[in-house]
Amino acid sequence: MTRVALANARLFDPATGRDTPGGLLIVDGRIADLGPALFADGVPEGAEAIDCAGRLLVPGLIDMRAQLREPGNEHQENMATASQAAVAGGITTIVCLPNTDPVIDDVALVEFVRRRGRDIGLAHIHPYAAATKGLAGKELTEMGLLAEAGAVGFTDGTRAIANAGIMRRALSYARTFDLLLVQHPEEPTLSHPGGMNEGEIATRLGLPGIPAMAEVVLLERDLRLVELTGARYHAAHLSTAGAVEAIRDAKRRGLPVTCDTAPPYFALNETAVGDYRTFAKLSPPLRSDGDRRAIVAGIADGTIDAIASDHAPHDQDSKRLPFSSAASGIIGLETLLPLVLELAHQGDVPLARALAAVTAAPAGILGLDCGRLAVGAPADLTLIDLDRPWRIAVDRFRSKSKNSPFDGRPVQGRAAMTMLGGRVVHRVAD
């Protein structure tokens, strides 16, 4: 029996509203007890004692959308380097997209991802499986078998399921097995060949624009199909005010709909593109400041359930190109936590709501047994130095790729220690 005593912590659990000084006891990888008076008489004999020095102890972060590039493009990232980056950022659970090479659309690949994650042993890695074979948008995968193998949801990753008939069948099939369908809501005939947000800046730079309507049109169509089928539907990385309002209305009508966004969409706007800066090229693109403010408001009032890193590593050959030719996406595993905390430090979102978006909310959406501080729960934990100032420096990141527009940004708060199953997998020296 292994026992670890975390003493002198600020226990903070968005799932239950707990916010109290106290301690937490781990026995054999699970939370055995916690509370304000737990170690009033000292830590149990034989337990490893860790002094949390009053810092914030929260459930380990859950990143519900990341691209790990393995198999197929390990020169950009692999599961080992992604795991190292994740735990350095306080993330203990990663859910990866199926847009690898080959595509994760059969049972063997789902099992491969899960096995690789277990072998690395730093963070839990769960795969989404493709909703359509080869991400081609034409033929559905065997969702039932893939779910039995461990797929936690179904998506075509960075591609929208554009065909309405295919989407209806996917939702109906998912409804049969009570599975989650995750959509990249961007109407391709409106977004292609755009590179940035449609508007004055795109016009001035001479770049083809992607209208906000490309997101809203597809989302509204999907919501009608959800109404028809009753399937669980999740919209990924919302970026526009119109999409937030559409989700808000769908929730008012009781539809089984959830959504997430990513830090770039509340921490940056289209001006970050600056002088054709490809590190600010994303899909969907960075939007207007009005859209950015709507995303912040959506997080604050709970319309936007979760925040994902949307980690998309690219090497220099993919990014150091003319803007229109450069790949879309940025890395995000090591910047997720400080940018989420920025919402609270700036007074835009209460701390509990901000941290719920990266703990309890994604756990609930994905049906994962984590994301809370409770007796019996896995001891996947993050100790946060809430007020520690630092400056983002991507050359120190564990991720193989360095494509981040946040390089050099001053932030406040970081993961001081990360535990997986009661085992320390990351720790910053005091």
Secondary structure (3-state) at 269: coil
CB atoms within 10 A of CB 346: 11
Question: Could you say which DSSP state residue 2 is in?
Answer: -
CB 6 within 8 A of CB 23: yes
Report which secondary-structure segment, H or E, holds 181.
strand 180-183
Catalytic site includes residue 178: no
Residue 271 phi, psi (nearest 5): -65, -15
CA separation (Å) from 222 to 22, 203, 205, 213?
46, 30, 33, 14
Numbered residues of the known binding site for substrate = 99, 314
Catalytic member of 63, 106, 291, 310: 310
Numbered residues of the known binding site = 99, 184, 237, 310, 314
Tokens of 345: 């430090």
Q: How far apart are CA 110 and CA 395, in angstroms?
A: 32
Report which secondary-structure segment, H or E, holds 424.
strand 423-427
Q: How far apart are CA 56 and CA 36, in angstroms?
A: 14
Numbered residues of the known binding site for Zn(2+) = 184, 237, 310
Tokens of 134: 């080869």
CB 136 within 8 A of CB 157: no
* CA-only gyration radius of the chain, Å: 21
CB 312 within 8 A of CB 331: yes
- Name the amino acid, one letter, at 332: G
DSSP for 298-358? HHHTTSS-EE---B----HHHHSS-TTTSPP-B--TTTHHHHHHHHHHTTSS-HHHHHHTT
**Residue numbers annotated as active site:** 310
